[in-house]
């Protein structure tokens, strides 16, 4: 099972949804960096379950402990190990799927691949483990702060409700002012209404998160097979329920002409481009413009309505969701998208320092 991401700044994730704890090991964090425990906590709270009426009611405190790699408030250069307790598990909610495969879950594929699976909340396949990624992302953000690179994400679509306003015309500081994490208050209310209605119907919806990386440096990316967009895409597609990632113009670029799509350069002390259809990445390397990308999430697979399925013996049966689940995952996934982006960027910043000889 592959549980690590990164080359120099590298994370290794561990734990299961209903185990005693989950966590992450961070290798490669430079020594001497101030570690802000309050910031780690605040990032975990942004991701935590039970934070609003449109999220799962599971109520984790997200209490964490750093057991290595930090001394007297600073990183030591040793691996940083963060452990987060699972304090509100209800494993009995999953007793009905011990031998049953839930539609569009990892139950069947895990069983076939490993021959033995943890059915409690999905075990290792649960989005619960992303709490460790967010903790690691908080460390990565602390590192990126010293480079002035800023990572911001927000919900730009929930089901059929879309935020049409370009991000450049939005006040992204308003993202955290509502429970759906959409920076437009009017659209946010529409999203909340749709999610609430869907929840009452026992169903779920998907959505889209837009990521923006500003104050980017030029030259991050490792062509040919480890382009920056490929690395970010890999990280995004590692997040539970993600089904698509696009950069800049994305699929819309397929209907444009080259004369429309090309980002013309603008001369000056700092070379810029008039447009940003490339999404800040050209040839797999950052060009200094904002990195702009969108991440599509499928509807949460656990619904509260009865569905046809099969058991592990191939017999037809039915299954109905029990317990506590998100009707739409995107509001809580915003800090996950930010964290995974920050982890990738921290790694590529460190790697870039090995690229050119400087006398």
Q: Tell me the domains of the chain and their CATH numbers.
A: 4-352 (3.60.150.10)
Question: What six digits make up the tokens of 61?
Answer: 């405190």
Look up tokens 């004369």; give the residue.
Answer: 259
Q: Residue 120 has what pLDDT?
A: 83
Q: What crossing angle do the helices spanning 330-352 and 37-47 adopt, rounded to 10°? A: 140
Classify residue 38 as exposed, middle or buried by CB count within 10 Å of its CB (0-12, 13-18, 19+): exposed
Q: Which residues contact 292 (CB under 8 A, 6 or more apart)?
A: 167, 210, 211, 212, 213, 247, 248, 276, 279, 280
Question: What six digits make up the tokens of 333?
Answer: 């996934």
Do the beta carbons of residue 167 and residue 209 sit within 8 Å?
Answer: no
Do the beta carbons of residue 109 and residue 117 sit within 8 Å?
Answer: no
The CB-based long-range contact list for 164-173 (8 Å cut-off, 24+ gap) reads: 167/210, 167/212, 167/292, 172/212
**In terms of Cα–Cα distance, which of 273, 352, 276, 322 is closest to 121?**
322
Classify residue 268 as exposed, middle or buried by CB count within 10 Å of its CB (0-12, 13-18, 19+): exposed
Do the beta carbons of residue 51 and residue 45 sit within 8 Å?
Answer: yes
pLDDT, one tens digit for every residue, the chain (359 residues) = 899 999 999 999 999 988 899 999 999 999 999 999 999 999 999 998 777 788 776 677 889 999 999 999 999 999 999 999 988 767 777 778 888 999 999 999 999 999 988 888 788 998 999 999 999 999 999 999 999 999 999 999 999 999 999 999 999 999 999 999 999 999 999 999 999 999 999 999 999 999 999 999 999 999 999 999 999 999 999 999 999 999 999 999 999 999 999 999 999 989 999 999 999 999 999 999 999 999 999 999 989 899 999 999 999 999 988 767 789 999 999 999 999 999 999 999 999 999 887 76
Q: Is 48 helix (H, G, I), strand (E, B) or coil?
A: coil
Number of Cβ within a 10 Å radius of residue 28: 17
Do the beta carbons of residue 107 and residue 1 sit within 8 Å?
Answer: no
Rounded CA-CA distance 307/321 in Å is 9
Rounded CA-CA distance 177/154 in Å is 11
In this structure, are strands 281-282 and 161-162 parallel, antiparallel, or unpaired?
unpaired
Question: What six digits make up the tokens of 78?
Answer: 């040793």
Question: 23 has which bridge partners?
Answer: 14, 83
**Chain mean position to CA 118:** 23
The model carries a pTM of 0.95
* C-alpha distance from residue 256 to each of 27, 175, 244, 251, 252 (Å): 43, 31, 20, 10, 7
Rounded CA-CA distance 359/356 in Å is 10
Rounded CA-CA distance 183/108 in Å is 38
Torsion sign, CA atoms 342, 6, 17, 194: positive
The H or E element spanning position 171 is none
Q: Residue 10 has what pLDDT?
A: 98
């Amino acid at each position: 099972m592959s549980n690590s991401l990164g080359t120099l700044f590298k994370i290794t994730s561990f734990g299961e949804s209903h185990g005693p704890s989950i966590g992450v090991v961070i290798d490669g964090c430079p020594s001497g960096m101030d570690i802000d425990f309050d910031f780690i906590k605040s990032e975990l709270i942004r991701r935590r379950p039970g934070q609003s009426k449109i999220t799962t009611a599971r109520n984790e405190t997200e209490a964490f402990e750093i057991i290595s790699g930090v001394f007297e408030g600073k990183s030591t250069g040793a691996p940083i190990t963060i452990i987060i307790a699972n304090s509100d598990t209800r494993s009995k909610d999953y007793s009905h799927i011990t031998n049953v495969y839930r539609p569009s879950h990892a139950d069947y594929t895990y069983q076939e691949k490993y021959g033995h699976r943890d059915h409690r909340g999905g075990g290792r396949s649960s989005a619960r483990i992303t709490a460790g990624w967010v903790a690691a992302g908080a460390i990565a953000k602390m590192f990126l702060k010293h480079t002035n690179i800023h990572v911001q994400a927000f919900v730009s679509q929930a089901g059929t409700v879309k935020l049409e306003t370009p991000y450049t015309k939005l006040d992204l500081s308003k993202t955290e002012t509502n429970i759906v994490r959409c920076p437009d208050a009017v659209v946010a209310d529409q999203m909340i209404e749709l999610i609430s209605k869907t929840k009452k119907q026992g169903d779920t919806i998907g959505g889209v998160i837009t990521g923006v990386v500003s104050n980017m440096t030029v030259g991050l990316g490792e062509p040919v097979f480890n382009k920056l967009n490929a690395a970010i895409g890999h990280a995004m597609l590692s997040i539970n329920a993600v089904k698509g990632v696009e950069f800049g113009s994305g699929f819309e670029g397929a209907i444009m002409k080259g004369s429309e799509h090309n980002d013309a350069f603008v001369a000056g002390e700092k070379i810029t481009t008039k447009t940003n259809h490339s999404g800040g990445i050209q040839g797999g390397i950052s060009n200094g413009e904002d990195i702009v990308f969108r991440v599509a999430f499928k509807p949460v697979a656990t619904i509260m309505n009865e569905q046809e399925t099969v058991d592990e013996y191939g017999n037809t049966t039915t299954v109905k969701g029990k317990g506590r689940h998100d009707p739409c995952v995107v509001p809580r996934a915003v800090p996950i998208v930010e964290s995974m982006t920050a982890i990738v960027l921290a790694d590529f910043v460190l790697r870039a320092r090995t690229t050119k000889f400087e006398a």
